[in-house]
Structures are given as structure tokens and as C-alpha cells.
Amino acid sequence: MESFLIKAAQLIVALAFLVIIHECGHYIFARIFGIKVEKFYLFFNPWFSLVKWKPRQKDRATDAQANEKPSWRDTEYGIGWLPLGGYVKIAGMIDESMDKEQMAQPEKPWEFRAKPAWQRLLVMLGGVMFNFILAIIIYAGIAWHWGSDYIPLQEAYEGMDFVEEARTIGFRNGDIPLKADGKEIDSSTGDFAYVIASASKVDVLRDHRDTVSIAIPENFILKINERGGFMSFRVPAFVGRLQPGGPAAEAGIREGDRIIAVDSTATPAFTELVPALLAKAGR
């Protein structure tokens, strides 16, 4: 139950962030073009609001002056109780508020409907534009923080796992591809697996000591395309977390240990570990 509540809270916070950015797009463009924004709400507030705040109208000499020069002080800011989005109520525009009475009154210069078409279009698209900019910023932040990390094939110590079609022509699980048609394989490119599968000869490092050449038959790439690939990095079996007092902990296994064998069966990667454990359990 606690985990569910945490995930629900995380979802609401993430939604709130996206809603605020989206509605800021509408709000900022409306303010740039001198359009009065009557309300700015996070989430919807039918019948009542959780929080609402209206700035004091200081330095606003008269209502007429306020109408001629809309300000951020004209806006009521609040948080609704229904977390299904949010809205800005823009004067002279029918939106989520469905304020038809205002539309029946004479047009005023600070209303949405009094502005040129290109300004109205930018106000309407402002939310989408801000979400698009946010996506670019998030992606740029991810690329800046994590970069484009990749594993050079030469450093894939446990090598690769190969599908049955690849093993049939000579590949073995644990092989490390080095060259394709005499050229070193660059795993930083997204098509390095295609380069290997479409070559006529591939050199691999086997058992960390022998270099073996494997002839690739014609149309081999067509066979593996049906499977969606023919090799993957082998993942060593490390213990990430243990259940306190569980059988593994009582047996002496510790977090951070690497499992290299089950009884006499070597388990250099998860692909060997799972079958070895199932065999030991008699399954």
C-alpha cells in the first residue's frame, strides 16, 4: 500500500509539473500580447478550490486603468482538487470555464477575441510549444549527464550471446567480435550488428586467447532478420540485493558477490545462471 501511495504521489507531481509548463505557455503569450488572464489554475476546481490567491490591486488607480493595461495582478492563482489537468481563463475566449456571458458583452481591447489572428494562434499554441521546448531541455539534460555511453566490444569481457542460427555457422556464446571483413568493428555505431551479419568473414576472440575466423553464408542476414537480431551482450550475474535472513544470506552470499558457478556448472552470465538454478531445483 505504501509503495502504491508513493507511486501515485510521484505521478501527481509529474503531472503537476507538465500542467504548469503547459499553462505557462498560454499565460505568457497572453501577457505578451496584452490579453487579460483572469485565472491560472493547477488542476480543475469544480465547486471549490484547495488553494486560491488574488494579488492585491495596489498601484492600480482605477478599474478603467486596470482594464486598459492588464497585469499579472488581475489573475487569480489557485490549485484545484481534481488532478486531471489545469487551465488559464483568458478574457474573451471560451475555454474550460465555458464563460458564455462574457462573450455576449461588447468586445474590449484587452480580450482575446479583439487581438489579430496570429496573436490568437500563438496564445492557443503556447502550451504545446512550451511542452515541446521542455522535451528538448529534458533530452539535452539526459544527454549532458549520461552522454552516449557504449561498451566497446573489446571490453565486453564475457562476450556475446548468439541465437541458434549464429551458433550453427560457427559462433559460440562468449565470443567477442573483433573484425568484419578485416575492418575493426565499432560498437559506438547503431548498426554494428548489421555490419557483422552482412560481412563475409568475421574474426572473433574466443576464450580470451584464440582468434577464430567465421565464414558468414549468403543471405544469413535475412534469416536473423526474422528473429529481430542475432546477438546480445552477456550480463554477468552479480548479487544486487539480498533478503535479510533469507536462504541466500544464511548460505553466506553477500551483496556485490558475482556468481560464477552453480555446483560444477559455470555461470559466467545470466543465460547460464537461470538454467543452472532450475536444474539444481529439479525443474
Mean pLDDT across the chain, nearest whole number?
82
Give the whole-number percent of the chain exceeding pLDDT 90.
20
For the ranges 25-39, 93-107, 179-193, the one whose mean pLDDT is highest = 25-39
CA distances for 26 relative to 49, 61, 79, 171, angstroms: 21, 27, 17, 58
Q: Does 176 or 263 have the greater pLDDT score? A: 176
- C-alpha cell at position 267: 555461470
Is the predicted pLDDT of residue 248 greater than 80, yes or no? no
The confidence score (pLDDT) of residue 64 equals 44
- Distance (Å, rounded) from C-alpha 227 to C-alpha 235? 20
Structural domains of the chain ordered from first start: 2-146 (no CATH), 153-233 (2.30.42), 235-283 (2.30.42)
Mean pLDDT of the 64-77 span: 71
